[in-house]
A and B are shown apart, each in its own frame.
Chain A
Amino acid sequence: MADAGIDLLRSSLDLLILKALTWGPMHGYGIGEWIDDATQSLLLVEEGTLYPALHRLERRGWITAEWGVSGNNRRAKFYTITPAGRARLRAEARRWHEYAGAIATALRRTGPALA
């Protein structure tokens, strides 16, 4: 059960990173802030876990990284979503909605199975 929980967490984190990047290139800190804000601090318990996820996504070609300068004039690594990343986001988002919808419907059921 613990593994399934981590998998679920990891795949939803990947999804949110891709979502965050649809607004434009961002550095890791910015992505973390966006996710924190968008999920009411529910998902990112440890901020550091964001980075392995970012690097994995980069390796799979869904995002790319480039060094740039942040708003407060520091050197920062900016991530950009690739076309493959956008396609992945669309597919995963749809899957997520179906899944969540199915679970929600099931939980709302009141009677036993129809024979």
Chain B
Amino acid sequence: MTIGPGWKRAFRLPRLDRKSVERDLDAELSFHLAMREETLKRLGMSADAARTDALARFGDHDRIRDECLTIDRQYARKVRLMEWLESIVTDVRYALRRLRRSPGFTVTAVVTLALGIGASTAVFSALSPVLLEPLPFPHASRLVTVDDRNEAGIPMPATLGTFAEVRARARVFETIAAADDWQPTISGTGEPERLKGQAVTASYFQVYGIAPVVGREFRGDDEQPGGARVAILSERLVQRRFGGDRAIVGRTIDLDGNPYTVVGIMPGSFANVVAPAAELWTPLRDRVTGDLSGRAWGHHYKIIGRLTATATTESATRELLALGRSPTASFARPPWANLEDGLLVRSMQDDVTAPVKPSLYAIAGAVLLLLAIASVNVMNLLLARGSQRRGELAMRIALGAGPGRIMRQLLTESVVLALLGGGLGLLVGQLGVHGLVAMSPPGLPRADAIRVDLRVLAFAVLLTTLVGLIVGLVPALGAVRGKTTDGLHRAASSRISSRSTARSVLVIAEVALAVVLLVGAGLLYRSVTRLLAAPPGFDASHVVTMQVVESGAGFTSDTARLQFFELALERVGQLPGVVSAGWTSQLPLSGDVDGYGYEAQSVAESKNGAVGSALRYEVTPGYFSAMRIPLRRGRLVDATDRAGAPEAIVINESMAKRLFGDRDPIGQGVRFGPEMGSDRPWGYVVGVVGDVKQYSLAADAPDAFYVASGQWLWVDDVQTLVVRTSGDAAAMVPSLKRTVWSIDRNLPIQRVRTMDDFVTAAAGQRRFAMVVIETFAIVAFVLAAIGLYGVVAGGVIERIREIGIRAALGATPAVIVGSVVRRSLALAAGGAVIGVGASLAATRLIRTMLFGVSSVDVVTYAGVLLLMLVTAGVAAWAPARRAAGVDPTMALRAD
């Protein structure tokens, strides 16, 4: 916008409001008419004729007046806008000048705000893709997942039989698809590697609404058993294994020793949220058959669907329940399909974010508290500063600045302060985001989408402005309400006391907020400590593990598989530093889950797995000593338990108790999963071992049984080597790998981790929340301590006369110190009481994350209270010393 030189001059004219614009115009036009009339009269016209003629010559008076008025009003608006902008620039310049003049105050306030705003920005950027943004698919709100539920109502994957029936009968789905885990080993180019992938029905990508960038989707005929093997790769895998060469489409790759033709590449932006680690896909060719012990009736299929435009998760739930309760002959169901109880339909967004929601909400709450404390602290600083600049403000008011103008100027100052803090805060936030992502537990969905983007920037700007206005409002109102004369006569003590009351209230609020954060952090800290102290049932120290996949043509028979495991064990055992070693089909806390129903010969009601199911550990004898799982009764699996010998079963204490109560379990006949109801001979319980936590540290140990590799129906081809070492466990990794590869160079080795790593990771969610909230709590605590100090110190300065008088009247230093410290303690105690009340309500939000402590844990509360009171005492120390040192004569002469 270009402004002619006229505007500055014009804006000095009193013509900006509507009324005077009109008045000016009317005066101008009537001047013209009067001049014309006069001229005409001088030429000899009568007065009446002259007026009529003047109007006629003028033209359409009203139209011309309107036209002028429109132009003038636009002009006035423009001038007003310029004036306003110029005054803002003036205010900002003035504010900056003032802030420069008190660098101590400015730096403190800016850094405080930067912490608050930075932390909020970081948390917002982490939360936004998980909780606020829709999943990155067209009409993402229509995407759902469908799960089965076990007896306890806990979601579990569905069976293919259920999928087939739902796909054929349900009307609420536009498209529906099923997926199963598929982990092929790729070989041929580069090191052999076991990949994470999915076997999916052809409709899988249509449900998401995302098409391959190159090539084609799967077609119905790809699903036919016996058809050509095809695969779709993710862009990430193409990048990683094939140097990003898109010409891979159409070529064949080697998976599990079979040639697969690559038919397409999924774009890098495709967020496969139900299986984020999957890098390639192949058509799902499982078929539902009459054989109920087949794969298709196992609970391992993930069902995803796209609802029709009119359907909701509720209507889908209703339809599936109705469908479940009206079985038809064409869809056979095994007894465990329990479709008549309905299926669990959840929006995909809820399903993938549910596990992390509690910790994210807790963190969001904590950051709000931190921001509130930072704001209150700055508000307090502004109030303290306000009392120093009362003289200046009073002078400006006396010189004619209206209260609105003063207020705007003060708010400008606080907003400028907030903007400076916000700018710095963005840097803090950027660092914070990196920290959050680095610390985030595995399984944080859409972690790749966390970043500082425009959305986050907009949030930061909005937040900053808001904080600036709120923080400035109280002090500005206080400043404006003050009487002019009050400020000019500096001794108006009533104003001092009302101001220090306001500051006291703020500091109490600050302490209360800090207490809430400290209590939350304390409870989480104690939870994590307890969690890590809770015995997992094994000894994690000095144990290293690695998963080995037997892939290739050499491992088609059970004998060959077992032979490899035994040979590897023999060679590992000869390595120096190895104390004991064993193989297991599943490893505690690793995410492995492999369970089977069980029945006992002597317990009639346990027939066909009616009592429950147990986790199966197919192990070699060394596993127990490597993990130091204690034997409670009988014997462990040993070298005599081989194929052909009677099946020896070791069960854990939970299972022993559930099946046999107080009876001796040794010698009892048991059968599992596929063996149940068959004519296979019963296995016999030979020993009982201690419980081991499998799913998580917080969950109770599930029932479990151990069987020797070679005595089970098959020999698992993916097993984990568990090695107890005398020295540093991680240091053994290279020699262990070399040993495995000395037998077969082509075997993928994966998931190489110490048991300590697994234990640490198992506490990941809570630890993540704990570290973040602890950081916030420490910052909050420091801010509250500074706030306390500021108010107490300010109080001493404001009452220096009174203290002087008391000293003159004979009060000893001890009495004066006592009164100052008492004041600090009173403030802290006030804040603490409110804070405890607030904590009792607030910590209910993190109850699901607590372990082993109650949300009203006395130790935590007492600790926080003690900490706050000690801090109040320490904060009061320096001001109290100063008060005690006041020289009565000097104090009375002050002012």
Measured CB to CB, the residues of A under 8 A from B are 27-29, 32, 45-49, 51-52, 55-56, 58-66, 70, 72, 74-77, 82-84
Contacts and interface: CB of A to CB of B under 8 A. Distances in A.
A61 B7 contact: yes
Interface string B52-76: 0000011111001001100110110
Given A27-B31, A32-B32, A74-B34, 4 more contacts: A46-B60, A51-B28, A66-B13, A74-B31
B64 A48 contact: yes
Given A59-B74, A61-B4, A52 B28 contact: no
B3 to A, nearest CB: 7
Given A61-B4, A64-B6, A29 B35 contact: yes
B38 to A, nearest CB: 8
Interface of B: 3-7, 9-10, 13, 24, 27-29, 31-32, 34-36, 38, 57-61, 64, 67-68, 71-72, 74-75, 78
A27 to B, nearest CB: 7
Contacts of A70: 31, 35
Given A48-B59, A59-B74, A64-B10, A76 B4 contact: no
Nearest to B14: A67
Contacts of A76: 28, 31
A84 B4 contact: yes
Q: List the 4 closest A-B pairs by CB distance, nearest first.
A: A61-B4, A46-B59, A48-B59, A48-B64
A51 B27 contact: no
A29 B54 CA distance: 12
A58 B3 CA distance: 11
B6 A77 contact: no
Given A47-B58, A48-B64, A82 B4 contact: yes
A21 B510 CA distance: 68
Contacts of B36: 29, 47
A56 B32 CA distance: 18
A48 B61 contact: yes
Contacts of A29: 31-32, 35-36
Contacts of B24: 77
A55 B68 contact: yes
A92 to B, nearest CB: 16
A83 B74 contact: no
Contact of B60 (A27, A48, A61, A84): A48
Given A51-B64, A52-B64, A59 B71 contact: yes
Contacts of B38: 72
B28 A28 contact: yes
A60 B32 contact: no
A28 B32 contact: yes
A83 B4 CA distance: 10
Contacts of B28: 28, 51, 76-77
Contacts of A63: 6
A65 to B, nearest CB: 8
Contact of A62 (B4, B27, B34): B4
B27 A59 contact: no
Contacts of A49: 59, 64
B5 A84 contact: yes
Contacts of A56: 71
